[in-house]
Structure 1
Amino acid sequence: METRSTPYRIALLFNANKSYDREVIAGVGQYLNSTRVEWDLFLEEDFRSRISGISDWNGDGIIADFDDPQVTATLSQSRLPVVAVGGSHRHASGYPDRLPYIATDNAKLVQLAYRHLIDQGLPRFAYYGLPPSPDKHWAAEREHAFAELSRADGMELRCYQGLPTSAGDWDHAVEQLMGWLRELPKPIGIVCVTDARARQLVQACLLARITVPEQVAVVGIDNDPLAQLLTRVPLTSVIQGTEEMGRTAAHLLHQMLHGVDHSGTRVIVPPAGINVQASSRHLPVRSPLVMRARHYIRHYGCLGIKTEQVADYVGVSRTALEEHFRRELKQTVHQALLQHKLETARELLTSSPLPLSEIAVRCGFTSLQYMYAVFRREYDLTPKQFQASHRISDVDGATL
């Protein structure tokens, strides 16, 4: 293999303002850090993908997002080595003829979400997608995958594309979405084409007073941290194999720069897993009073509310609500409140750099000492011991 005195100049044409693109780029970076490859990487300063002038760019190779039709048209006949990255196609004609193509497996993304909802015991399913668009063929592929799964299981097909997201049409779009949600039979599991769509769906459920996940269980795709942060009900999401896509693309381009022919190579990357959160943890509940109470607890349980406030929200006496909770959940309202606080505390202890005193406040415990006492009683561990043991497990798992 030839030696070279200067690094190869490689352009990464992605919109790195999107979580998906950032993770692909991160995979490229991981490949470079794990090898002796030295590349001089070019990205736009504002992390957007711009192709003007790329034909005259004096570089050595390109890794690009081929979900963008303009990128596809510009680079399909490039004089430079190009590795295409994008969504999978059910028809071979959707792929570029001569370029290597690294794809996220759209069918398996949807299948993982669908099977997860089946595992939650849900009897019926629906899909919330996107309107047709030339730069979103992947959305059509995912909707088709859901339709195939529904037909194979003999299920009624329920797909809704909704309106594009824009400030001017937002109110109208939400009203239409709420109307669709109200007409759906309940309980139901809904697969959403992206986390952004899943977040909109959860918001519409809250506005329509439809409980998540008791009446509508929701799964998104992307595992986008921003969508998680902006969703009041923690969002279950399928994790795409985006970093693996980036690593694979960098590996192929590295070989191409040294004369290896990867013309027409296709690598379809399966999802990396699913991040299960509250939005899909469907626990069948017959009592609408318990549904409404759990909905209220999920949103306000860490704000110091008491059993009486939950009963007031539901509109029944405390005694009546307690009877429904014992019959349905085999626990009291107070226990349900405490369980919610503990679940929130465990999540913060394992994922947040906040001090323990701040975590106690955020979870609705009256003091750090009280949180310690509850942890010792429920888990035979202090919060600090729980945090340390989880981090040790993470480190051990990372070395396997």
Structure 2
Amino acid sequence: MAQSSDPANFKAMAPHRIALLFNANKVYDRQVIAGIGRYLNSTRVEWDLFMEEDFRSRMRDIRQFRGDGVIADFDDPQAPDALRNLHIPVVAVGSSYHDPAAYPAGLPYIATDNARIVRLAYDHLIEQGLPRFAFYSIPPHPGSRWAQEREHAFQAIVVDESVEGVVYQGQPTSAGGWGGAVEALVAWLTDLPKPIGIIATTDARARQLLQACVIGDIAVPEQVAIVGIDNDPMAQLLTRIPLTSVIQGAEEMGRTAAHLLHKMLHGVDCSDTRVLVPPVGINVQASSKYQPLRSPHVMRACHYIRQYGCLGIKTEQVADYVGVSRTVLEEHFKRELKQTVHQAILQYKLDTARQLIAESDASLADIAVRCGFTSLQYMHTVFRREYDCTPRQYLDLHRKPAPAR
């Protein structure tokens, strides 16, 4: 029997027992769960939440769950069968599908809009002026239907736009097969016509592309511009070249799922509800900021600077990497970019510092160290000279306030 939502009875109500069946070791699932949590924190809803202690989703005992409702990740191929005829409200969360018949029948379904995710990544690469495109996917598997949907969305776009577009599914990720998988990925990237923009089906796959480009000595983004999906902070930490990534509306998915379940717990029929949640936006970083360059020396030098610019490198080290004398490299830089190699390194450090000041909660002293400045005072001097303000003034103008609790 549905519990009363009358405020007068609020204190007397026992909380509903709700199972969250997600693999919270994945960033997308964590963001969905965060959206559920934010819904609970912004309302008077009281739920007793069950999740596995190791944050993994397990369906084996769900039929013995003596609870009131379930929100589950239906990208898990076990979920539809395990939760069928459960006799308590179930809200499904997962991938969107181009075929309406692929959605589970009789359940409310909250979906990430794969077509709009891929379109946002593609439009960004178009805006960078890239003439051809590729998609790095995942081999078909029952648990990765979302990846095939993104692959399908990409193929539909390139057909509709009449542009060059290829798909590479690569190999499954495993420790034993990693060496061969990387070699195959490097070979694929080497054979691609360039310049090219590549959309990876996840940030994890995008990170593999970045690693393969470093191994194959392929300049990012001058030869290969890369966009991932998920905006995963871990992927950013594990790459030297900052990764552009589409931000899914996963938190909104969680909020919407929690709202629907709350209504169902109070007797509202939501069985035919289907909600497509668009992406929030795109976090544009260095991996996709394509800049057409004629000089291969400048291209290689910029690729090196993006990897090591904040580690105190000097012009001589850049020239050694490119394989030319400092004088020759300086001539190419002045002709192509109208600046010296030193100025390019300094600009990279400043761009990184400005981004960290605006988007992180790190101290200015820590940012100075992370960006390769010899001291906070030196960073202060450079900011004054280049931007006519101090790092502190820049912080006050640009750092986003912490979200209210």
What is the match of residue 4 of structure 2? 2
What is the match of residue 374 of structure 1? 382
Cα distance in 2 for partners of 1:168, 1:297 equals 32
What is the match of residue 124 of structure 1? 132
**C-alpha distance after superposition, 1:146-165 (max 9, x if no partner):** 00001111123310000000
Kept after mapping to 2: 8 A contact 1:241/1:271: yes
Give the SS at the match of 1:158. Answer: strand
Cα distance in 1 for partners of 2:44, 2:364 equals 42
Cα distance in 2 for partners of 1:291, 1:117 equals 19
Cα distance in 2 for partners of 1:211, 1:389 equals 34
Kept after mapping to 1: 8 A contact 2:132/2:165: no
What is the match of residue 152 of structure 1? 160
The structural deviation recorded for 1:380 is 1.0
Cα distance in 2 for partners of 1:243, 1:300 equals 34
Kept after mapping to 1: 8 A contact 2:19/2:71: yes
What is the match of residue 141 of structure 1? 149
Cα distance in 2 for partners of 1:128, 1:355 equals 37
The structural deviation recorded for 1:168 is 0.7
Q: Which one of 52, 59, 64 corresponds to residue 56 of structure 1?
A: 64
The structural deviation recorded for 1:303 is 2.0
Aligned residue type for 1:245: M
Aligned residue type for 2:44: R
Give the SS at the match of 2:310. Answer: helix
Cα distance in 2 for partners of 1:357, 1:273 equals 31
The structural deviation recorded for 1:56 is 1.5
Aligned pairs (5 A) from 1:191-206: 191-206=199-214
Aligned residue type for 1:56: Q
What is the match of residue 72 of structure 1? 80
Kept after mapping to 1: 8 A contact 2:240/2:308: no
Q: Which one of 337, 342, 345 corresponds to residue 350 of structure 2?
A: 342
Cα distance in 2 for partners of 1:374, 1:17 equals 41
Cα distance in 2 for partners of 1:211, 1:54 equals 49
Q: Which one of 90, 98, 109 corresponds to residue 117 of structure 2?
A: 109
**C-alpha distance after superposition, 1:299-349 (max 9, x if no partner):** 222222222222222122222211211121121111101101101211222
Higher deviation after alignment, 303-312 or 244-253: 303-312
Kept after mapping to 2: 8 A contact 1:87/1:106: yes
Cα distance in 1 for partners of 2:346, 2:192 equals 32
TM-score (norm 1): 0.96
Give the SS at the match of 2:143. Answer: coil
What is the match of residue 32 of structure 1? 40
What is the match of residue 286 of structure 2? 278
Cα distance in 1 for partners of 2:265, 2:299 equals 59
Give the SS at the match of 1:369. Answer: helix
Kept after mapping to 2: 8 A contact 1:67/1:86: yes
Kindly report the root-mean-square deviation, in angstroms, between the aligned alpha carbons of the 2 structures. 1.4
Aligned residue type for 1:372: H
**C-alpha distance after superposition, 1:359-380 (max 9, x if no partner):** 2222222222211110001111
Aligned residue type for 1:144: H
Aligned residue type for 1:2: S
Give the SS at the match of 2:91. Answer: strand
Cα distance in 1 for partners of 2:312, 2:231 equals 30
Give the SS at the match of 2:164. Answer: coil
Cα distance in 1 for partners of 2:159, 2:306 equals 35
Q: What percentage of residue pairs aligned between the two structures are identical?
A: 69
Give the SS at the match of 2:125. Answer: helix
**C-alpha distance after superposition, 1:78-100 (max 9, x if no partner):** 11100000000111111111000
What is the match of residue 307 of structure 1? 315
Kindly tell me the number of residue pairs found equivalent between the two proteins.
396
Higher deviation after alignment, 340-349 or 259-268: 340-349
Cα distance in 2 for partners of 1:357, 1:256 equals 51
Cα distance in 1 for partners of 2:169, 2:218 equals 20
Aligned pairs (5 A) from 1:308-327: 308-327=316-335
Give the SS at the match of 1:326. Answer: helix
What is the match of residue 357 of structure 1? 365
Structure 2 residues without counterparts, runs of 5 or longer: 6-11
Give the SS at the match of 1:302. Answer: coil
Residue 186 (structure 2) pairs with residue 178 (structure 1): yes
Aligned residue type for 1:88: S
Cα distance in 1 for partners of 2:13, 2:366 equals 53
Cα distance in 2 for partners of 1:177, 1:312 equals 27
Kept after mapping to 2: 8 A contact 1:76/1:96: no
What is the match of residue 249 of structure 1? 257
Cα distance in 1 for partners of 2:114, 2:250 equals 12
Give the SS at the match of 2:180. Answer: helix
**C-alpha distance after superposition, 1:181-221 (max 9, x if no partner):** 00000100000000000000110010000011010000000
Kept after mapping to 2: 8 A contact 1:76/1:99: no
Give the SS at the match of 2:142. Answer: coil
